[in-house]
Amino acid sequence: MKLYRNLSEAVVQNLHDIFEGNRYADKVIEKVLKQNPKWGARDRRFIAETTYDIVRWYRLFRELSGAQERDYWSLLATWCIWNTIELPPWKEFEGIQPREVEENYERVKSVRKIRESIPDWLDTLGEAELPAWWDKELHALNEQAKVVLRVNTLKISREGLQKLLLEEEGIETERLPEFPDALLLEERQNIFTRQAFKDGLFEVQDAASQRIAAYLDVKPGMRVIDACAGAGGKTLHLAALMQNKGRIIAMDTEGWKLDELKKRARRAGASDLIEARLIDSSKVIKRLEASADRLLLDVPCSGLGVLRRNPDAKWKLSLEFIEKVQVLQQEIFQQYSVMVKPGGMMVYATCSILPSENEKQVEKFLATHGDKFEMLSQDRCWPSEGYDGFFMAKIRRRQ
pLDDT tens, residue by residue, 179-196: 999 999 999 888 998 999
In the chain, the percentage of residues whose pLDDT exceeds 70 is 100
Give the pTM.
0.94
Q: Give me the catalytic one of 80, 301, 351, 381.
A: 351
pLDDT at 146: 94
pLDDT at 189: 86
pLDDT of 157 > 90? The answer is yes
What residue type is assigned to position 67 of the chain? A
Residues 154 and 161 sit within 8 Å (Cβ to Cβ): no
pLDDT at 70: 86
The Cβ of residue 374 has, within 10 Å, a number of other Cβ atoms equal to 12
Q: How far apart are the C-alpha atoms of 109 and 184, rounded to whole Å?
A: 33
Residues 1 and 85 sit within 8 Å (Cβ to Cβ): yes
pLDDT at 395: 98
pLDDT at 215: 98
pLDDT in tens, 159-182: 999 999 999 999 999 999 999 999
Q: Which CATH architecture has domain 148-204?
A: 2-Layer Sandwich (3.30)
Q: How far apart are the C-alpha atoms of 283 and 298, rounded to whole Å?
A: 20
93: part of which helix (H) or strand (E)? none
Task: Provide mean pLDDT across the span 345-372.
Answer: 97
Compute φ and ψ for 121, nearest 5 degrees: -60, -35
pLDDT at 218: 98
Compute φ and ψ for 76, nearest 5 degrees: -65, -40
pLDDT at 190: 86
The boundaries of every CATH 1.10.940 domain in the chain are: 5-117
pLDDT at 31: 95
Task: Provide mean pLDDT across the span 333-345.
Answer: 97
379: part of which helix (H) or strand (E)? strand 373-381
pLDDT in tens, 288-319: 999 999 999 999 999 999 999 999 999 999 99
Q: 3-state SS of the chain: helix, strand, coil percent to 5?
A: 50, 15, 35
3.30.420.40, 3.40.50.150, 3.30.470.10, 3.90.226.10: which CATH number matches 210-397? Answer: 3.40.50.150
Residue 399: pLDDT band (50, 70, 90) is confident
pLDDT of 69 > 90? The answer is no
What residue type is assigned to position 274 of the chain? I
144: which DSSP letter? P
282: part of which helix (H) or strand (E)? helix 282-286
pLDDT at 14: 97
2.40.50, 1.10.940, 3.40.50, 1.10.1060: which CATH number matches 5-117? Answer: 1.10.940
pLDDT at 66: 86
Task: Provide mean pLDDT across the span 237-245.
Answer: 98
281: which DSSP letter? S
pLDDT at 225: 98
pLDDT of 2 > 90? The answer is no
Report the mean per-residue pLDDT for the chain.
Answer: 96
Whether 351 sits among the annotated catalytic residues: the reply is: yes
Cβ-based burial of 167 (10 A; exposed 0-12, middle 13-18, buried ≥19): exposed
For 24-92, give the secondary structure using H, E and C: CHHHHHHHHHHHCCCCCHHHHHHHHHHHHHHHHCHHHHHHHHCCCCCCHHHHHHHHHHHCCCCCCCCHH
Q: How far apart are the C-alpha atoms of 54 and 272, rounded to whole Å?
A: 44
**Terminal-residue alpha carbon distance, the chain:** 65
Task: Provide mean pLDDT across the span 26-31.
Answer: 95
The boundaries of every CATH 3.40.50.150 domain in the chain are: 210-397
Residue 67: pLDDT band (50, 70, 90) is confident
Rounded to the nearest 5 degrees, what angle is found at the Cα of 14, between the Cα atoms of 8 and 20?
130
Instruction: Taking the CA atoms of 85, 90, 92 and 96 in sequence, report the sign of the dihedral they define.
Output: positive
Query: Comparing C-alpha atoms, which of 124, 105, 104 is closest to residue 113?
Result: 124
pLDDT of 94 > 90? The answer is no
Query: Comparing C-alpha atoms, which of 353, 364, 340 is closest to residue 392?
Result: 353
